[in-house]
Amino acid sequence: MSIEILFEDDRWAAAGLARLAESACRETLTHLGFDPEIHEISVLACDDARIATLNAEFRDKSAPTNVLSWPAEDLAAEEDGEAPLPPEPDLEGEPVELGDIAIAWETCAREAREQGKAFHDHVTHLMVHGCLHLLGYDHIRPRDAARMEGIEVEILAKLGLADPYD
């Protein structure tokens, strides 16, 4: 698996984001039956100011958020609750580019603290969540949300983490 991380905030490197992202995304792909070795993801490890700018630019929301995702391809299911389309390589034998994830330090740290969760566990959950978005999963429609959350819980359990929605 190839995960390229741009560290705009050095706190992420010190916290081991590379290891957390690799583990979370690898388990997500494996859980869904995809070969992690042929997939690529880019991650922006940033702060609240940067993610607030991105959130305003791409979602018209002028506040920071924990994680944002930009899928390389729209794989979303047409019907609420259906599975998304599988990612396919553009060229046979080439890696499958899934897209980009941005994650914000201050929001993640604050949420973990407020929810009484270990920081690394919360970040792992958000990386699984972001990776699922790259794979076409979403939580806007009710059955899509239930499907995505159920998959998150299964993946996190495989990683030895508690249900974040409990």
H helices within 32-141, ranges in order? Answer: 48-59, 105-115, 119-134
CA 12 to CA 37: how far, in whole Å? 24
Rounded to whole angstroms, what are the CA distances from 132 to 13, 71, 138?
23, 10, 8
Flag whether 139 is marked binding.
yes
CA 24 to CA 30: how far, in whole Å? 10
Rounded to whole angstroms, what are the CA distances from 154 to 32, 61, 88, 111?
11, 30, 24, 21
| Phi and psi, residue 157, nearest 5° | -65, -40
Flag whether 122 is marked binding.
no
Flag whether 39 is marked binding.
no
Burial label, 72 (beta-carbon count in 10 A; 0-12, 13-18, 19+): middle
Which residues are annotated as part of the binding site for Zn(2+)? 129, 133, 139
Which residues are annotated as part of the binding site? 129, 133, 139
